[in-house]
């Protein structure tokens, strides 16, 4: 349970070392030559960056078994040694926290769910500390050091400061979560927005591998969006980015918790679905799960609520495509369970509102359970460990 010793830090936090490590992590095993091609670094720079990573045991070399022997010296492949370090990722929802223990390759070794007694920072911190303790005990049995903890929370999160500025679902304002969790667990802590964390996991291991520009849109209690532009997750100069939920779809539409009218989230979020079906049927509806059940039973008001939600989501995605022109938009989130009810409207609204060739963007659905979000949180901890976390760099044209 002791914090990692000084000897256990990453060899060097240079851009080349981070880039090489991340490329091997997400696309490896690779030869040095292929690494040079994929990163744009010179072969000499690749060799120079790989050396300390091998010496410190984070990368290992293998001989490619399928290399044609006729070519002389067999090609040496470089891969990440997953067993070299462990990480913990925590995703906080309104009802529970989900924790994963992963190896350095961000493969999930252990998953734990813990119900939350409440949503105050104290309650979430206590639950997090308890869950991290359980996962550290598991790690002790593996005799590998846990090098970092990532915590993913919905809302406006300032990763550089380690603070949750505003989380509507948790009703938090200005909570210095990284500092509090570091004191409680003894681990280096990275706090990030949950959709951005999920986007890192998709970029490294999911439907975003090899793409320099893509978006993840999550549908559920809120409507979120993670953006990757020029190969990096967009964090926003002031901490806010990817707020597709607050793209205006109809200025005369329903009031949103942000104070505006007709935001995507005010039409397509779980609370909006519940509200609309209540208003249309005059009956009490408990939650989004019940709206889904009503829709699947053929209740018109529920089906119409989903159709309007799909239209709003499709327009929101078209706005992202018109501004950024991503190669792909990955649609996920708890709301995916209802995808058959609004898929058609999402696509129709997207194609109607996409401008010119922006309509060529590939829309794809991916069921990503909360384990995967927690894995994203672990990925942010790995980012911090290897020194590739987003920094507010000066312009590098």
Binding residues among 336-355 for a second copy as defined by CB under 8 A: 352-353, 355
Contacts of a second copy in 65-94 (CB under 8 A) = none
- Per the structure block, which two tokens stand in for 388? 């590739």
Contacts of a second copy in 171-190 (CB under 8 A) = none
DSSP, res 396: -
Contacts of a second copy in 20-49 (CB under 8 A) = 22-23, 26, 38-42, 45
> How many other C-beta atoms lie within 10 A of the C-beta of residue 330?
24
For residue 239, state whether it binds a second copy (rule: CB under 8 A). Answer: yes
| Tokens 């979560």 -> residue | 177
CB of residue 298 to a second copy, shortest distance in Å = 28
CB of residue 160 to a second copy, shortest distance in Å = 13
CB of residue 25 to a second copy, shortest distance in Å = 9
Contact 60, 79 (CB under 8 A): yes
CA distances 325 to 9, 233, 315, 317, 344, Å, are 38, 15, 14, 10, 21
- Judged by phi (left if over 0) then psi (alpha if -120 to 50, else beta), residue 31 lies in beta
CB of residue 260 to a second copy, shortest distance in Å = 6
Our CB check for a second copy shows the closer of 70 and 393 to be: 393
CB of residue 375 to a second copy, shortest distance in Å = 16
3-state percent helix, strand, coil for the chain, nearest multiple of 5: 45, 20, 30
Residue of 10, 58, 172, 204 interacting with a second copy (CB under 8 A): 204
For residue 243, state whether it binds a second copy (rule: CB under 8 A). Answer: yes
Q: What are phi and psi of 266, to 5 degrees?
A: -75, -10
For residue 298, state whether it binds a second copy (rule: CB under 8 A). Answer: no
Our CB check for a second copy shows the closer of 177 and 320 to be: 320
CB of residue 381 to a second copy, shortest distance in Å = 15
Number of residues that bind a second copy (CB under 8 A): 76
For residue 165, state whether it binds a second copy (rule: CB under 8 A). Answer: yes
CB of residue 396 to a second copy, shortest distance in Å = 4
Cα(160)–Cα(148) distance, integer angstroms: 15
Q: What is the β-pairing status of strands 96-103 and 108-115?
A: antiparallel
Residue of 251, 284, 297, 298 interacting with a second copy (CB under 8 A): 251
For residue 327, state whether it binds a second copy (rule: CB under 8 A). Answer: yes
> Residues 6 or more apart from 10 whose CB is under 8 A from it?
17, 56, 58, 385, 386, 387
CA distances 170 to 96, 120, 266, 319, 392, Å, are 12, 7, 18, 28, 27
For residue 227, state whether it binds a second copy (rule: CB under 8 A). Answer: yes
For residue 166, state whether it binds a second copy (rule: CB under 8 A). Answer: yes
For residue 323, state whether it binds a second copy (rule: CB under 8 A). Answer: yes
For residue 6, state whether it binds a second copy (rule: CB under 8 A). Answer: no
Cα(371)–Cα(353) distance, integer angstroms: 34
For residue 304, state whether it binds a second copy (rule: CB under 8 A). Answer: no
Our CB check for a second copy shows the closer of 282 and 397 to be: 397
Q: Is 298 exposed, middle or buried (0-12, 13-18, 19+ CB in 10 A)?
A: exposed
């Amino acid at each position: 349970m002791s914090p990692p010793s000084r000897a256990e830090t990453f060899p060097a936090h240079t851009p080349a070392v981070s880039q090489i490590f991340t490329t091997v992590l997400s696309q490896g095993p690779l030869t040095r030559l292929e690494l040079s091609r994929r990163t744009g670094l010179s072969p000499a720079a690749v060799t120079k960056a790989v050396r300390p990573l091998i010496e410190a045991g984070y990368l290992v070399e293998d001989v490619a078994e399928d290399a044609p022997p006729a070519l002389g010296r067999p090609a040496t492949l470089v891969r990440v040694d997953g067993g070299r370090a462990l990480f913990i990722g925590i995703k906080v929802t309104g009802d529970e926290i989900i924790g994963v223990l992963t190896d350095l390759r961000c493969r999930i070794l252990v998953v734990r769910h813990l119900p939350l007694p409440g949503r105050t920072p104290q309650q979430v911190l206590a639950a997090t500390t308890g869950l991290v303790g359980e996962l550290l005990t598991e790690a002790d049995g593996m005799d590998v050091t846990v090098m970092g903890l990532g915590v993913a929370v919905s809302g406006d999160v300032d990763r550089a400061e380690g603070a949750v500025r505003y989380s509507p679902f948790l009703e938090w304002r200005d909570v210095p979560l990284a500092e509090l969790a570091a004191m409680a667990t003894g681990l280096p802590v990275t706090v990030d927005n949950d959709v951005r964390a999920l986007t890192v996991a998709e970029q490294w291991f999911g439907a975003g591998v090899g793409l320099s520009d893509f978006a993840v849109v999550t549908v559920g209690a809120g409507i979120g969006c993670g953006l990757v532009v020029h190969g990096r997750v967009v964090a926003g100069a002031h901490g806010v980015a990817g707020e597709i939920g607050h793209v205006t779809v109809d200025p005369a539409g329903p009031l949103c918790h942000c104070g505006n009218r007709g935001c995507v989230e005010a039409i397509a979020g779980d609370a909006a679905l519940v509200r609309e079906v209540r208003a249309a049927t005059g009956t009490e509806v408990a939650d989004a799960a019940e709206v889904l059940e009503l829709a699947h039973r053929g209740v018109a008001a529920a089906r119409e609520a989903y159709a309007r939600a799909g239209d709003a989501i499709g327009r929101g995605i078209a706005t992202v495509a018109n501004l950024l022109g991503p190669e792909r938009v990955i649609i996920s989130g708890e709301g995916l369970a209802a995808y058959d009810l609004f898929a058609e409207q999402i696509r129709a609204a997207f194609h109607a509102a996409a401008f010119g060739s922006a309509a060529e963007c590939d829309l794809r659905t991916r069921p990503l359970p909360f384990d995967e979000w927690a894995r994203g949180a672990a990925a942010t901890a790995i980012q911090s460990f290897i020194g590739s976390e987003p920094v507010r760099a000066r312009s590098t044209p």
